[in-house]
Amino acid sequence: MHLDHSHDGPAAVSADARRADGSRRALRIGLGGPVGSGKTATVAALCRALREELSLAVVTNDIYTREDAEFLLREAVLPPERITAVETGACPHTAIRDDISANLEAVEDLEDEVGPLDLILVESGGDNLTATFSKGLVDAQIFVIDVAGGDDIPRKGGPGVTTADLLVVNKTDLAPYVGSDLGRMAADAKAQRAELPVVFQSLRSEPGVSDVAAWVRTRLAAWTA
Amino acid sequence: MSRAALLVLADGRFPAGGHAHSGGAEAAVKAGRVTGAASLEDFCRGRLHTAGRVAAALAAAAVLGVDPVELDAAADARTPSPALRTAARKLGRQLTRAARATWPSDELDALAREFPKGAHQPVVLGLTARAAGLGAVDAAYCAAYESVSGPASATVRLLSLDPFEATGVLARLAPELDRVADRAVEDARCVVDEGADALPAASAPLLEIGAEVHAGWGVRLFAS
Ligand SMILES: Nc1nc2c(ncn2[C@@H]2O[C@H](COP(=O)(O)OP(=O)(O)O)[C@@H](O)[C@H]2O)c(=O)[nH]1
Ligand SMILES: [Mg+2]
């Protein structure tokens, strides 16, 4: 018995950048953050922004329904065969971090069935501020919070806010109504994240998701370089 | 052989997808058949002596070197519910992945090639135990224990059952688990001599029916 990875056949470890046939697999980007912050809305907007230029697919991790997947289907952001829902047994953070098997199966099936794919977006079921994606599942992660959840969230930090490759502060259109101080949120985020990027966006007005879409394009260019 | 490998494999945190499945507990809770620790114990006892017993014998037979393709067909024949077959294969596929990353072996590679969408989980469990250098009785223990630990931890989440009570249920079932595991190894030895027909075929119709009903729900917490 030996514990190296010298075995042939389909890749045993799914972080491998190559698929069983030697081709490069799709870039996988995770979207995490509290329930209701705008993950599904951001996924939908990204699909609309990128679907003409990229071959993409989405995996949702609903907590107890298929609601996110069904929203995306209803909005027809992608053809139905490009959207898969994973069930998480009441533990959304487990499915993206501690036991990623069902999500890995979903991304591999999508690549097999509708590939080749450039990009797969994996939306977390939504959880608390400590939930982050395993590096075995995604190549980069976006943490989505919103201004209505309280403008002290960036100051509180936590693994999502502090370490995500991109922090998105969503629903800036609501800031005046909920009394959130965007300047303070930006300063706190900067203090927590140093050089890591932060995007403030409102999906209710122009330019919508375009900063996040530009960040995704940059990641993809680096992945395929 | 390292005995400690058994702890790695039997650990509920072993990342093979089990956390998303309730082993029929979600359907039983909704139907009012599991309402607390006492009825959870009844449920688990029933599952242990039916699905658990069959799974333990399948896993033990796989460790003893019985052809996994033959065992997989036997598992299919002992699983009337299509939803349960799908769940068993899904879990088998997820375990295959975790096992190959954890205990790389040519047999597991061959299994992945033979069953790209997954073989029945107990068969994979047996081959995993084999790759980990464990014996038939170890695999039988894992399968039997999983048949009750899955529903117990799911019920903690579904009913907000006191976790100490749920663990107490598992502890009280321990002597029966010993017997099921021992018997599974005897069954598996018969399979080596007589073929897969010697496997037990104990079944729990309500588990099968519950799984079919559960698969049709629009709103649920667990995949099965
Ligand atoms: N006002 C406003 N509402 C938004 C924005 N983005 C999303 N929403 C709304 O917020 C609610 C929750 O969004 P959703 O994407 O489902 O959140 P998720 O739980 O993080 O996936 C929905 O009603 C969205 O329409 C935004 O930028 N501004
Ligand atoms: Mg959502």
* Structural domain harbouring A41: 27-224
Instruction: Find residue A199's DSSP bridge partners.
Output: A168
Whether A127 shows a pLDDT value over 80: the answer reads no
Task: Round to whole Å and give the CA distance between A128 and B105.
Answer: 38
What's the gap between Cα B109 and its chain centre? 21
Are A12 and B13 a contacting pair at CB < 8 A?
Answer: no
pLDDT tens column, A84-112: 999 888 888 899 999 999 999 999 999 99
Name every chain B residue with its beta carbon within 8 A of the beta carbon of A10: 112-113, 116
pLDDT confidence bin for A13, thresholds 50/70/90 = low
Are A1 and B131 a contacting pair at CB < 8 A?
Answer: yes
Binding site membership of A37 for ligand 1 (Cβ less than 6 Å): yes
- For residue A7, the model assigns a pLDDT of 44
- For residue B66, the model assigns a pLDDT of 98
Task: Round to whole Å and give the CA distance between A161 and A132.
Answer: 10
In a domain, A17, yes or no: no
Nearest CA to ligand 1 atom 3: A171
In a domain, A73, yes or no: yes
pLDDT confidence bin for A8, thresholds 50/70/90 = very low
pLDDT tens column, B97-111: 999 999 999 999 999
Q: Give the one of B19, B116, B218 whose C-beta lies nearest to A94's C-beta.
A: B19
In a domain, A22, yes or no: no
Are A99 and B106 a contacting pair at CB < 8 A?
Answer: no
pLDDT confidence bin for A64, thresholds 50/70/90 = confident
Whether A171 shows a pLDDT value over 70: the answer reads yes
Question: If you average pLDDT over residues A137-158, what whole number do you get?
Answer: 94
- For residue B67, the model assigns a pLDDT of 98
Whether A216 shows a pLDDT value over 80: the answer reads yes
Number of folded domains that form chain A: 1
In a domain, A11, yes or no: no
Q: What CATH number corresponds to the domain at position A62?
A: 3.40.50.300
% of chain A with per-residue pLDDT over 70 = 93
In a domain, A19, yes or no: no
Domain boundaries, chain B: 3-209
ipTM rounded to 2 decimals: 0.84
Class of the CATH-defined domain B3-209: mainly alpha
CB B96 within 8 A of CB B112: yes
In a domain, A12, yes or no: no
Chain B residue with minimum CA distance to A104: B94
Task: Round to whole Å and give the CA distance between B15 and B9.
Answer: 9
Of residues B54, B93, B96, the one with CA closest to residue B76? B54
Question: If you average pLDDT over residues A115-142, what whole number do you get?
Answer: 91
